[in-house]
């Protein structure tokens, strides 16, 4: 990552407290984080620690109890079409075809341009031949790619991905990571990627934000200084992975 | 397909035969057989009454039902989207719901007199509540993810309703529309027995009052059943298209 690149997303003093059966539950506690323009940051943490909550706040869907999120210096208070949230494949609209889904955010464009964009993104995510298909007839991985295509089609500068590949089988998951990296390198989006899969984070991220258990804070940020494509059996890769295992306090053997 | 037609038509044949046998066994004044009833349908058709009454009934249902549809769905969606509006109006709706639409007949006649308007009003009432309640529930059952995705692409309230909420709720709405159309058809017949001088419901009471013509009564009942069936299968077809495109069954 070029050190000169500016800060895109800036999180300051972020806390989130939910009402619970007995009083309240503190989920996030005083988080600070800067994400640089064009950076791919993975947020890694145990289940229930508040990763989705964090991403939803950054996406403008949920208001934090305290603290602020600013993007390009402007405070986030609601969702914005320049920053698209990709939901774990459930976000595709079942009443629209592949084409209709990708065109969803392009209504303001003239017909010709819209068609061109749809075509481009259909091809980019490898859904050629399925333009008129409804989501129910697509596989999980295809739905996921469709949702990514729909997001990319409006040319956002930030993408939020909440465990986007969690429901896929391990082979498809690997392929999807490869595709995401390819797209990221081609379009240079800023990406916040939530996962609880250590390998996934080491394969993708420029930096890995490790969150503690609830009430969560940022426990550590690990820089991943490896060129893409990453060799999963290289010394460097394994070192980073080991550091994360150690940081989380997991033994290495099963 | 052929098999299904065969099975269905043999069912009808068996029923017709049973009807014929029962009519033959009973006193003729108690149960007219199939033939007299067919003759009665013919008589109505020749006199031009059949078409006139069917059109009269359909006219009332069309107006009452469509007015309910265009008001109840938006209102139901608005209630579903707004917690305070729902809190304010829901008790009222729940109080009205158990009142049979027929309970409104005296009020309808008081306000609109004997005539089309009364019948249309009753059908409107009968259709409005189920449609409004179904729309409200459809909004409650929406997938939050779809709503968020819609908002994320910059849709305002109205666009969100038009492009996300309505299509997402459509399968549920179509079921409610079909059931409600059935109710409307039940109500029009009942309303016509009291509040107007034409239509299939009127035909039934009139045939009895004017000389105990039970062949005409049963002819009227058959027509009511037949048209009800056609209305139902019309909406069901829409429903099926919608379901198929989303991959639910056939
Ligand atoms: N709307 C809400 N109301 C109350 N509590 C909530 C709400 N949303 C989340 N929580 C609570 O906040 C905590 C964090 O939830 P969150 O979904 O952010 O976790 P997560 O890190 O994404 O977990 P996972 O890895 O399992 O997806 C959980 O304890 C959850 O019960
Ligand atoms: Mg989560």
ipTM of predicted complex: 0.88
Q: Within a domain: residue B25?
A: no
For residue A247, what are the CA distances in angstroms to A10, A208, A221, A242? Answer: 24, 12, 10, 8
Please, which residues have CB within 8 angstroms of residue B48's CB and are 6 or more apart in sequence? none
3-class DSSP state of A161:
strand
Distance B59 CA to ligand 2 centre (A): 54
The predicted pLDDT at position B121 comes to 95
What DSSP line would sit under A229-252, residue for residue? SP-TTSHHHHHHHHHHHHHHT--S
Q: Which of B179, B88, B51 is nearest to B127 (CA)?
A: B179
A80 DSSP assignment: B
CB-CB neighbors (< 8 A) of A104 in chain B: 153, 163
Confidence (pTM): 0.85
- Cβ contact B151–A154 (<8 Å): no
Q: Within a domain: residue B13?
A: no
In Å, how far from its chain's centre is CA A67? 21
pLDDT tier at B250, thresholds 50, 70, 90: very low
CB-CB neighbors (< 8 A) of B167 in chain A: 93, 95-96
The predicted pLDDT at position A151 comes to 92
Q: Which of B56, B96, B66, B72 is nearest to B195 (CA)?
A: B56
- Cβ contact B247–A91 (<8 Å): no
Touching check for A205 and chain B: CB below 8 Å? no
Q: Within a domain: residue B141?
A: yes
The predicted pLDDT at position A252 comes to 58
Which residue in chain B is spatially nearest to A105 when comparing CA positions? Answer: B153
- Of the listed ranges A29-33, B74-78, B86-90, B161-165, the least confidently predicted one is B86-90
Structure tokens at A135: 């989501």
pLDDT tens column, B172-216: 999 999 999 999 999 999 999 888 889 999 999 998 888 888 889
- Cβ contact A94–B246 (<8 Å): yes
Q: What mean pLDDT is predicted for residues B54-80?
A: 95
Q: Within a domain: residue B241?
A: yes
Which residue in chain B is spatially nearest to A160 when comparing CA positions? Answer: B152
Q: Within a domain: residue B138?
A: yes
CB-CB neighbors (< 8 A) of B166 in chain A: none
Q: Within a domain: residue B15?
A: no
> Whose atoms come closest to the Cα of A17: which ligand?
1
> Whose atoms come closest to the Cα of A28: which ligand?
1
CA torsion, points B145, B149, B155, B160, in degrees to nearest 10?
-30
Q: What mean pLDDT is predicted for residues B88-101?
A: 89
Residue environment code for B206-226, b if the CB has 16+ CB neighbours within 10 A, otherwise e: bbeeeeebbbbbbbbebbbee
Task: Please report, in tens digits, the pLDDT of each residue of chain A (254 residues total).
Answer: 444 458 999 999 999 999 988 899 999 999 999 999 999 999 999 888 999 999 999 999 999 999 999 999 999 999 999 999 998 768 899 999 999 999 999 999 999 999 999 999 998 888 999 999 999 999 988 998 899 899 989 999 999 999 988 878 888 888 889 888 988 988 889 999 999 899 999 999 999 999 998 889 999 999 999 998 898 899 999 999 999 998 887 655 55
CB-CB neighbors (< 8 A) of B148 in chain A: 61, 79, 85, 87, 91
Nearest CA to ligand 1 atom 4: A18
State the residue for tokens 């392929």.
A175
Domain range enclosing B138: 34-245
- Cβ contact A137–B247 (<8 Å): yes
Touching check for A79 and chain B: CB below 8 Å? yes
Q: Residue A194 CA: which ligand 1 atom is closest?
A: 22
3-class DSSP state of A195:
strand
A79: nearest CB among B146, B151, B164: B151
> Whose atoms come closest to the Cα of A61: which ligand?
1
State the residue for tokens 């009471």.
B205
The predicted pLDDT at position A90 comes to 80
Higher pLDDT, B62 or A253: B62
Q: Which of B40, B57, B55 is nearest to B211 (CA)?
A: B40
Residue B16 CB coordination number (10 Å): 12
- The mean pLDDT value of chain B amounts to 91
Structural domain count of chain B: 1
Q: Within a domain: residue B199?
A: yes
Residue B37 above 50 pLDDT? yes
Residue B3 above 50 pLDDT? yes
What's B177's domain CATH number?
1.10.3720.10
Tell me if A192 sits within 8 A of A9, measured CB to CB: yes
- Name the residue of A42, A49, A196 to mutate for ligand 1: max ligand atoms within 8 A of Cβ: A49
Residue B204 CB coordination number (10 Å): 23
> Which residues, judged by CB distance below 6 Å to any ligand atom, belong to the binding site of ligand 1?
A 18, 27, 45, 47-53, 196
The percentage of residues in chain B with a pLDDT greater than 70, rounded to a whole number, is 99
**The dihedral sign for the CA sequence B165, B170, B175, B181:** positive
């Amino acid at each position: 990552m070029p050190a000169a690149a500016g800060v895109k997303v800036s999180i300051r003093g972020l806390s989130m407290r939910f009402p619970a059966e007995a009083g309240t539950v503190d989920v996030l506690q005083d988080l600070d984080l800067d994400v640089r323009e064009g950076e791919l940051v993975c947020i890694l943490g145990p289940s229930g620690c508040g990763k989705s909550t964090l991403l939803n706040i950054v996406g403008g869907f949920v208001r934090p109890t305290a603290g602020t999120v600013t993007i390009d210096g402007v405070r986030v208070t609601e969702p914005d079409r320049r920053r698209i949230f990709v939901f774990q494949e459930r976000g595709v609209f079942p009443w629209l075809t592949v084409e209709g889904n990708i065109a969803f955010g392009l209504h303001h464009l003239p017909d010709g341009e819209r068609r061109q964009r749809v075509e481009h993104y259909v091809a980019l995510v490898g859904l050629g031949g399925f333009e008129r298909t409804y989501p129910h007839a697509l596989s999980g991985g295809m739905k996921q790619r469709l949702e990514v295509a729909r997001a990319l089609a409006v040319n956002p500068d930030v993408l939020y991905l909440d465990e986007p590949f969690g429901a896929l089988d391990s082979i498809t998951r690997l392929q999807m990571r490869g595709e995401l990296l390819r797209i990221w390198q081609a379009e240079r989006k800023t990406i916040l990627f939530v996962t609880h899969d250590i390998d996934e984070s080491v394969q993708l991220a420029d930096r890995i934000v490790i969150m503690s258990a609830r009430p969560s804070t940022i426990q550590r940020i690990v820089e991943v200084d490896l060129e893409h494509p990453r060799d999963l059996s290289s010394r460097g890769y394994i070192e980073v992975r080991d550091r994360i295992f150690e940081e989380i306090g997991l033994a290495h053997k099963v | 397909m052929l098999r299904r037609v065969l099975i269905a038509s043999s069912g009808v044949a068996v029923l017709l035969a049973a009807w014929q046998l029962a009519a033959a066994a009973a006193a003729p004044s108690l149960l007219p057989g199939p033939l007299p009833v067919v003759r009665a349908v013919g008589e109505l058709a020749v006199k031009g009454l059949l078409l006139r009454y069917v059109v009269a009934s359909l006219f009332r249902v069309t107006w009452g039902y469509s007015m309910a549809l265009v008001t109840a769905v938006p209102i139901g969606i608005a209630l579903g989207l707004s917690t305070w509006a729902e809190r304010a109006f829901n008790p009222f709706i729940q109080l009205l719901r158990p009142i049979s639409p027929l309970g409104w007949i005296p009020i309808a006649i008081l306000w609109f007199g004997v005539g089309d308007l009364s019948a249309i009003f009753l059908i409107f009432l009968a259709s409005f509540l189920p449609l409004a309640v179904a729309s409200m529930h459809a909004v409650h059952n929406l997938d939050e993810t779809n709503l968020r995705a819609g908002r994320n692409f910059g849709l305002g309230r109205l666009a969100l309703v038009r492009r996300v909420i309505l299509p997402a709720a459509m399968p549920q709405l179509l079921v409610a529309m079909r059931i409600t159309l059935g109710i409307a058809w039940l109500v029009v017949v009942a309303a016509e027995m009291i509040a107007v001088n034409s239509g299939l419901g009127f035909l039934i009471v009139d045939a009895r009052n004017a000389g105990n013509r039970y062949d005409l009564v049963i002819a009227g009942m058959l027509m009511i059943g037949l048209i009800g069936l056609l209305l139902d299968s019309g909406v069901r077809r829409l429903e099926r298209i919608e379901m198929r495109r989303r991959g639910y069954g056939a």
